[in-house]
Amino acid sequence: MQLALFIIFGLLAVAGAINFLLQRHPINSALSLVVVMMSLAVLYWSLGAEFLAAAQVIVYSGAIMVLFVFVVMLLNAGEEERTHGSRAAYMAGVPGAAAIFCLLSFIFLSNGRAFGSTDLTNHLTNAVNNIAEISQVLFRDLLLPFEVTSILILVAILGAVVLARKEQ
């Protein structure tokens, strides 16, 4: 079951990502990104991280991507012109991407055992309530970093308000 979910939604995520690059219209690209986010949420869920999955859907697909679509709609962005791309991108990008891909697959294949594996079915049937675990980590063990992050976000909100406010 987990394997079937992984194959279906992994392929969907990859297809969405490729479609994101190939689409000419910004709205279609944004929607492909939504598909990628949702498939990732399903993958998180199948790994037993249901809180992360729900947060992924609510925050990324439900809030951030809606804002993206909203802005594209407001600006009425048209279709993009396709360019041939710069030569430097081909010279450096293609070998670079290939090198990173080879390096990562080499590491994962050679040291796969050292990363450890998770027994998914066991994890799911035991039904560990990982909301309790996450909240203990967030609000007890990592309380200071959590509060500092929230202050950082508050500063960002205040900055946005100051920037958006009309001059008196």
Partner 1 sequence: MSHLTEFQTFLLLSILKIAVVLVITLTAVAYTVLLERKVLGRMQNRWGPSRVGPFGLLQPLADGIKLFLKEDLMPLASEKLLFILAPIIALTCALISIAVVPFGAITRITANGISVDMGTIADINIGLLVILGITSIGVYGIALSGWSSNNKFALLGSLRATSQLISYELALGLSLVGVVLRAGSLRLRDIVASQSAHGALSWNIFGGFQIVAFFIYLMAAYAETNRAPFDLPEAESELVAGYHTEYSSMKFAMFFMAEYANMITVACVATLLFLGGPTSPLGNLLPTDFGGPILSAIFPILWFVAKVFAFLLLYIWVRGTVPRFRYDQLMAFGWKFLLPVAILNIIATSLVLALKG
Instruction: Assess 66 for contact with partner 1 (CB under 8 A).
Output: yes
How many whole angstroms separate alpha carbon 38 and alpha carbon 13? 8
How many whole angstroms separate alpha carbon 80 and alpha carbon 89? 19
Question: Could you tell me where the DSSP H helices lie in 56-110?
Answer: 65-75, 87-88, 94-110
Q: Least separation, in Å, of the C-beta of 34 and partner 1?
A: 7
> Which of 40, 79, 75, 69 is CA-nearest to residue 57?
40
Amino acid at 102: C
Query: Taking CB under 8 A as the criterion, which residues in 1-40 touch partner 1?
Result: 27, 31, 34, 38
How many whole angstroms separate alpha carbon 150 and alpha carbon 168? 30
> Which of 25, 17, 19, 18 is CA-nearest to residue 81?
25
Instruction: Assess 69 for contact with partner 1 (CB under 8 A).
Output: yes
Q: Least separation, in Å, of the C-beta of 148 and partner 1?
A: 20
Q: Least separation, in Å, of the C-beta of 84 and partner 1?
A: 27
Q: Choose the stretch contacting partner 1; rule: CB under 8 A; options: 61-69, 80-88, 92-100, 104-112.
A: 61-69
Q: Least separation, in Å, of the C-beta of 144 and partner 1?
A: 20
List 89, 99, 131, 160, residue binding partner 1 (CB under 8 A)? 131
Q: What residues line the site for partner 1 (CB under 8 A)?
A: 27, 31, 34, 38, 50-51, 54-55, 57-58, 61-63, 66-67, 69-70, 73-74, 127, 129, 131
